[in-house]
Amino acid sequence: MQDEQGAVAEASARIDVLLAAMCERMLAGGIEHPAADAELILGHVLGESRGRVQALAIMREEISSTAAAAAVELTEERARRVPLQHLTGRAPFRSIELAVGPGVFVPRPETEIVAQFAIDALQLVPDPEPIAVDLCTGSGALALALAHEVPRARVWAVEKSREAHAWAERNVAEWGDDRVSLVQGDVTELAAITALAPLVGRVHVLVSNPPYVPSNMVPRDPEVRDHDPELALYGGLDGLDIVRNISRSARAFVVPGGSLVLEHAETQGRAIRELLTADGWRAAATHPDLTGRDRATTAVR
């Protein structure tokens, strides 16, 4: 390890050379496409955008030994498969950037299509102040995307984990614009969450990225397996325990004609459509993400 750190440090006088050495170290750690991570790490250290780092590399600009050492340290952490977002403390999601770290699920790009379905449904609501609820909000990504892109909406976000709630609280303070209400509570006991009682029969869009990994299917990626909280990952033997609960108990909150949007694994669409239909939801349909994998199922109250 010391030899590897020294090799990176020795190559760090110029930004382009340092980036190449950072990529080599991360490749050795099993990260297949490290260029973006290297540029984002260095951008974090320098307080510059990724595009600016790329420009500085092209111009073969030099970097201070202090900044280079900081980049080397973060590169070593990333090579040990610590999530990039934990190292920078930020995670981009659609048009916002969230604070994240240990104890909260890092929002993924594939969830952005889930947000889009919810945003589209919310924008079609004729009410001047439509209401949305995000269950299992985690960092607050879905709730804040809805509020940010549908400025007339009021959004409630529910999270059980104290650690994740703390991260969501930070993000709501930064991005909520006083239109996002954060509630700590268990989605399996929605009726007991007093803060939500006034919303019964009034919600226009209900969205959730719930835990949906089957309990016997441990994720392969160390970033997920070792760093995302188990509470945000596992949803029982078939991964659908929380989905079943949402389908049954959250229906009472949604107005007739209101929308439900759920994220799930690519193999779960059919099972979710069937359970939603059995619980009285209408027009259940499954939709792919940008990679062509089934990612979201929508339904109408």
Question: Domain map of the chain by residue range?
Answer: 2-80, 90-300
H or E segment and range at residue 258? strand 254-263
Q: What is the pTM of this model?
A: 0.89
**Mean pLDDT for the stretch of residues 247-268:** 96
* 119: nearest Cα among 130, 107, 127: 130
* Predicted local confidence at residue 221, as pLDDT: 83
Confidence at 2, pLDDT banded by 50, 70, 90: very low
> Regarding predicted confidence, which is higher, 225 or 106?
106
**Mean pLDDT for the stretch of residues 105-122:** 95
Torsion angle of C-alpha atoms 196, 136, 245, 297, degrees rounded to 10: 110
> Regarding predicted confidence, which is higher, 222 or 22?
22
Q: Tell me the CATH number of domain 90-300, given options 3.30.420.40, 3.90.1200.10, 3.40.50.10490, 3.40.50.150.
A: 3.40.50.150
The 10s digit of each residue's pLDDT in 12-47 is 579 999 999 999 999 999 999 999 999 999 999 999
Residues 6+ apart with CB under 8 A from 208: 134, 135, 136, 142, 187, 242, 246, 261, 262, 263
**Mean pLDDT for the stretch of residues 101-128:** 95
* Predicted local confidence at residue 11, as pLDDT: 47
Q: How many C-beta atoms surround the C-beta of residue 267 within 10 A?
A: 12
